[in-house]
Structures are given as C-alpha cells and as structure tokens.
Structure 1
Amino acid sequence: MKKIVDIYRCKKKEGAYIYLAKGSSIDELPQALLEQTGKLELAMTMLLTPEKKLARADVAKVLESLDSQGFYLQMPPAPESYMQQIANDKLTQKPI
C-alpha cells in the first residue's frame, strides 16, 4: 500500500510530528490533540510505502494508524535515550 502524506511539525512539543494523508485537513484532528501539539507547521510531503525507512517511526504502524485513526502522532524519543548515547566516562569527568 502506498500513501502520500503531509508531515506537520508540532510547535508546542519539540520533536513531535503529525502525519496526515494528503488532502486531509488539520481541522479533522481531535481537539484534545490540537491543544496538546499547538500550532502545526507543514514540514514535508512524502510518499510512504511498506519498504520506506523512517528515522523514528515504523512505516507499517504509520500506515495502519492513518487507516484506523486518520493520523499518526510521532513523539520525540524519551530524554533517557539521549543520556544513554553519552559515554559514562564523559558524565563523570572532573573539571580541570
């Protein structure tokens, strides 16, 4: 299954994005979601296919969510995952 989607950046929530099928309106999103995300800014439009690789989302889940809910909300990674990328010795260095 192929689907053209518009991807919107959430202004209120850094690193969060909403995927909508091309031609869908932001006005169709649940009001509670719009309050949580704040103003949405179009980031890009792309063709999604099952073979497509996305940086922070599983394309199969995105496509499934678009079919079932009409949108997909991609949240930023948890803050702890950033800390795991820093080597332990860098965290414990004493100032010179």
Structure 2
Amino acid sequence: MNLMTFREDALLAVESVFAFSDFTRRAESLCDELEGDADLIQRYKKAWFEMEIVNGVALGEWEDDGRPLIWMEKWNAKYKEDALEVIHDLLLVVSGR
C-alpha cells in the first residue's frame, strides 16, 4: 500500500464506525508489507492492536444497539477521539517516528 494513500485512508477512517472498521481490517495486512526492521514491525503490531481494541469495543456497542444504519452521534461522542489517537500513533510508526 502506498504511504500517501494509507494516510488519506486514515483521515477518512474516523468518519464512522464502518469506515474505521474497514480501515482497521486493511491496516492489519500492511504489516505483511513491512520488511527487515523487527522493531518497526513490533511497533506497528502494537499500534494496530490498539486500533483493534477501539474497533472491537465500538463494533460491540454498535451491535448491542441493534446494528443501526445511523450511529454517528454515539460514534462521535464516544469513539471518534480514541480512533483519531490510535490512527495518529499508527501513522507515526509508518512514518518512521
């Protein structure tokens, strides 16, 4: 995956629980593209795992709420800020920081 595309996708991922879930799923496979640097791979896996925690909790609550088509109010109030934080951490890793 192209780093610029990854960053663009990351910015859009916080728009909804569905976008974040999709991005989290796709971001998992990016780790397979990392080569050589064991420390980078480990930091990526840790950052991705933090994303997966936010994703799992948000999806669990969405399912508990009956899987509504519109869930923006709760996403924005409870999960969007955490999603931004974990995506930021993942982007720092990918950027080599």
| Common topology (TM > 0.5) | no
Of Structure 1 and Structure 2, the greater helix share is in: 2
* Relative contact order higher in (CA < 8 Å, ≥ 6 apart): 2
Rg (Cα) greater in structure: 1
- Give the TM-score normalised by structure 2: 0.23
Of Structure 1 and Structure 2, the greater strand share is in: 1
